[in-house]
Amino acid sequence: MGLGNVAINIIANGLVLAALVFVYQYRLFDIPFSWWAWVLILFVEDFTYYWFHRISHENRFFWASHIIHHSSQHYNLSTALRQTWTGSFMSFIFWLWLPLLGFHPLMILAQMSISLIYQFWIHTETINKLPKWFEAVFNTPSHHRVHHATNPQYLDRNHAGIFIVWDKLFGTFEPEIEKPIYGLVKNISSFNPLYVAFHEWIALFKDVFTSKTNIFKRLLYFVKPPGWRHDGSGQLSSDLRKEWRINSKK
């Protein structure tokens, strides 16, 4: 999955750079390559990543690409390399406001790369907890283990890239207490990379074109969260969390 992602990104990154350069022509401000601009983009880009990542869990269209990263039932550094083959052609739209604001495309791509490198090392069970001050501010292996877990209370939590403060600020933070169980709510049983890359896209379009309901409700499959069904029969992660919290109080 990692090798396929790298190969496809040779094409995708060219398109992303072209889009950033195009939008940069209409920038509102001229932000220089100064030290303060690098500090600013560190936070602004990470804020952007948080919302992209959160929406990738709350919107099935983007989840169809992101699900690949969560499909492993193990959690180690190789999990970080299990990457989408389709997401790069769509995810860049979340970053287009940065060149419009005035950040140079090369500065944006550099910070995106820094974020990607940072997120590699947190895919491990080897590191337990880091100092409290670090855990309070930064994304850590403990925080990210929660993100990859299928325990009901952990679903769709801890979307941070570098700074965990976004999750705490927007109400999506969950500390690691119970041992995480990794994978998907419904795990796949194939090691075929083509199936891993496209199985959710196939399932999504199957729901859109074969569901026995009106066209409006069919199109909602693109924008509703994973697990949503037009007849109300599906289980959403929010429902599973509520059920867990009710049961945990009994």
In tens digits, the chain (250 residues) has pLDDT values of 999 999 999 999 999 999 999 999 999 999 999 999 999 999 999 999 999 999 999 999 999 999 999 999 999 999 999 999 999 999 999 999 999 999 999 999 999 999 999 999 999 999 999 999 999 999 999 999 999 999 999 999 999 999 999 999 999 999 999 999 999 999 998 999 999 999 999 999 999 999 999 999 999 999 999 999 999 998 899 989 888 888 877 6
How far apart CA 37 and CA 101 sit, in angstroms, is 12
The crossing angle, in degrees rounded to 10, of helices 2-24 and 105-121 is 150
How far apart CA 5 and CA 10 sit, in angstroms, is 9
How far apart CA 115 and CA 189 sit, in angstroms, is 31
pLDDT value at position 51? 98
How far apart CA 167 and CA 46 sit, in angstroms, is 12
Angle (CA) 149 246 56, round 5°: 35
Question: Cα torsion for 25, 28, 30, 31, to the nearest 10°?
Answer: -110
Provide CB contacts within 8 A for 103, sequence distance 6+.
31, 37, 41, 44
pLDDT value at position 22? 98
| DSSP single-letter state for residue 151 | S
How far apart CA 178 and CA 145 sit, in angstroms, is 11
pLDDT value at position 85? 96
How far apart CA 15 and CA 22 sit, in angstroms, is 11
pLDDT value at position 242? 86
| 3-class state of residue 125 by DSSP | coil
pLDDT value at position 24? 98
Contact 85, 5 (CB under 8 A): yes
